[in-house]
Structure 1
């Protein structure tokens, strides 16, 4: 990179640069261009394999004679495996390096996802969903941890919001793609469309798992695409940022940190809403009057398109104002309003408006949440803390589809499940204000 002054010495001193602020901005832009698009692509593959069961449901339940309760429990049991293995996974990533461990995660879950073609009974469905959770455990919190190696707290909200754009991108790409596969591949070579769905959507994760080994660096020091002054700048900023964070000295003090449990409770409510959306959105669209799986897939892309617009706007605003709590709580309340209003309206258009509001709010909340715990924790505490918060909160991924599925079977309607989700999100928004502003607004 060219600068306006003589390049700093190999010791990493950048104070002699004529425009240090410009140098810093360009350096972080370079890091962002290198890491974020690739990590987004990986998470898109992860999220696609995690939630494509929502589209498979449109055919699989009839073929296998599964009830809504069986589907809800199977969709949710993924998160029990996730819960049990997430903290060990993140600790291993911190110990052995991001490149090998993230590749291991992706390759394993790709194989298991393809194995859903063999599902014939509820038991097989439950076992494979559980194993998929075990395989994927640690990927999202691992990437969040990985980004703390590069970006200080003041720059992290925007990076996280861009990374989490992979979720609505998965909906934009995955919805029409899943609908097309169900529509076009039904009966090809004697296989049901939902079986082709699991086979074909496992392939991107398999290829990306190999690509991680060739592309990703474990940290700043190993990045050959950075100059020595750029490495020095990044390393110094991360070190200064970590100097203000909590470093737990024992497991007891870590578990006894009430702030971590508060974070887990807040994110539990966010995740409950997030998976209430992703696991049931195709069903909501179909019940609004859309029968063809292809058009169900097309219409499910619309809420995610709204979310992909909201995420970077909220993230940039949070960094610009150095304010975290309102930028989390307000999107949560907006999402709750979308879920609560949905049962009151009918028709495809009105339903799409409501779920679009819900999607934009809950997915913006999901990215903004991580500005809170990553502002508090550093080093090994960050590895364990991020994973612990995420794994406990992701139990909501079990409870959300299980409870909503049970409520749907019990009442014969989706109203009770949607109100349940809305109330939980409002409770989570209230908990946000128990987090001291001075600890996170940096």
Structure 2
């Protein structure tokens, strides 16, 4: 056996061990952290069911605008926060994020007016800014490209899992202070406890992240020296292949047409997906006059379907080393389901099936989509671009939730906004198709 082959085999074995250890040591903590972050961001969808009754001046338009203004605060610190993960420390920055967002989430329980609600939602956005794109950047410090979509899928399924598990407890908390059999607890009623209860794990997890998360492979006590070297060499080799001698600055990356295309595509997607998530509970309740006990069972079915879809899509995207159709096809599925949703009114079964298909499509594209920036960018340029894509994209969340709440308040119907979100998702799929056409054109130009 040649010396080069005998050198390669131990390196390959050490790399495989390092990859497996990274999955088990990093992803569980990141997964739980994202679960709590998602609950703290989205629990307004359950709390609003009694907030609008208990607080003067609160209606769907106020809730929708307040839910949307979260993303304005989110955008302001998104790029700086993502760069902090790349250039400083993921461990310290994520710890700061989690503790501050936990405090802001708990503060929501004290609001008594729409403007207080808007203010605390804005501050919550500022507090959480940088977490999601920061983790995506952080995963590129640990996982080679062959594992990236799968690692992203495992991380991302925390969102649908949060949507499956949190309603059960949130609906039980919502009963506090609802009647004589469930009196207020410590002077607070149900919707206030929804915010306070879910804020506490965020603060606790912030401390755990500080002590348990590791910034780079070279700092990991649970990797051997051979494993550290193998993993770092593989990641450096891939960075070299990506840049091919050309390194982009952050500002160049932010002006790159492909980055701007992905940001616009994500904006169009979040317009539909976040608006749908926020108002699905209200749509089911308004269309079918369901009791809370029935609602808490029905609203877990769409995220359960999405959880399976995300895992399968992430595995398949890595297995076949394909990103384009693994992003486009789920989006088209979600768009079609959103377009059909108004036609199902009157049939609860068909409405829930459409929500399940829409959730599956609007979640399953994400592992392939978030693997795209690292295909042509590295280091600070990748971090800045991911922050830009996520921040501008999440303005779609502000727009979608505000649109849906305002349209329902003005017209008494969600139908117009649902059709708009269907079309917006189709635009996103078209942009991603154009992104790959541009990459192909650039590749042909480089060869010539």
Name the TM-score class by shorter chain: over 0.9
Residue 43 of structure 1 is matched in structure 2 by 34
How much does 1:188 deviate? 2.1
How much does 1:404 deviate? 1.2
Matched, 1:242 2:242: no
Matched, 1:34 2:33: no
Residue 63 of structure 1 is matched in structure 2 by 54
Query: Contact 2:153–2:367 at 8 Å: present in 1 too?
Result: yes
How much does 1:276 deviate? 1.8
SS of structure 1 residue aligned to 2:51: helix
Residue 373 of structure 1 is matched in structure 2 by 373
Query: Contact 1:79–1:398 at 8 Å: present in 2 too?
Result: yes
Residue 355 of structure 2 is matched in structure 1 by 355
How much does 1:162 deviate? 0.9
How much does 1:277 deviate? 2.2
Which residues in structure 2 correspond to 1:11-410 (within 5 Å)?
16=7, 18=9, 21=12, 23-64=14-55, 65-184=57-176, 186=178, 187-189=183-185, 190-246=187-243, 249-250=248-249, 252-345=251-344, 346-410=346-410
SS of structure 2 residue aligned to 1:435: helix
Query: Contact 1:14–1:233 at 8 Å: present in 2 too?
Result: no
Query: Contact 1:49–1:202 at 8 Å: present in 2 too?
Result: yes
Provide Cα deviations, 1:58-101, integer angstroms capped at 9, x if missing partner. 11112113122111110000000011111111122223211111
- Whole-angstrom distance in 2 between the partners of 1:379 and 1:27: 21
How much does 1:15 deviate? 5.3
Provide Cα deviations, 1:244-263, integer angstroms capped at 9, x if missing partner. 33565545523321111001
- Whole-angstrom distance in 2 between the partners of 1:68 and 1:58: 10
Query: Contact 2:317–2:323 at 8 Å: present in 1 too?
Result: yes
- Whole-angstrom distance in 2 between the partners of 1:110 and 1:74: 18
- Whole-angstrom distance in 2 between the partners of 1:365 and 1:288: 29
- Whole-angstrom distance in 1 between the partners of 2:225 and 2:437: 36
- Aligned in 2, Cα 1:215/1:15: closer, same or farther, shift over 3 Å? farther
Query: Contact 2:250–2:381 at 8 Å: present in 1 too?
Result: no
Residue 431 of structure 2 is matched in structure 1 by 431
Provide Cα deviations, 1:31-66, integer angstroms capped at 9, x if missing partner. 111111211100001010001011111111121131
- Give the stretch that moved more between structures: 48-57 or 362-371: 362-371
| TM-score calculated relative to the size of structure 2 | 0.91
- C-alpha RMSD over aligned residues: 2.0
- Whole-angstrom distance in 2 between the partners of 1:256 and 1:416: 34
- Whole-angstrom distance in 2 between the partners of 1:161 and 1:149: 16
Query: Contact 1:270–1:366 at 8 Å: present in 2 too?
Result: no
- Whole-angstrom distance in 2 between the partners of 1:288 and 1:15: 67
- Whole-angstrom distance in 2 between the partners of 1:372 and 1:299: 34
- Give the stretch that moved more between structures: 62-71 or 180-189: 180-189
SS of structure 2 residue aligned to 1:285: helix
- Aligned in 2, Cα 1:180/1:329: closer, same or farther, shift over 3 Å? same
Residue 3 of structure 1 is matched in structure 2 by none
- Whole-angstrom distance in 1 between the partners of 2:82 and 2:6: 35
SS of structure 2 residue aligned to 1:434: helix
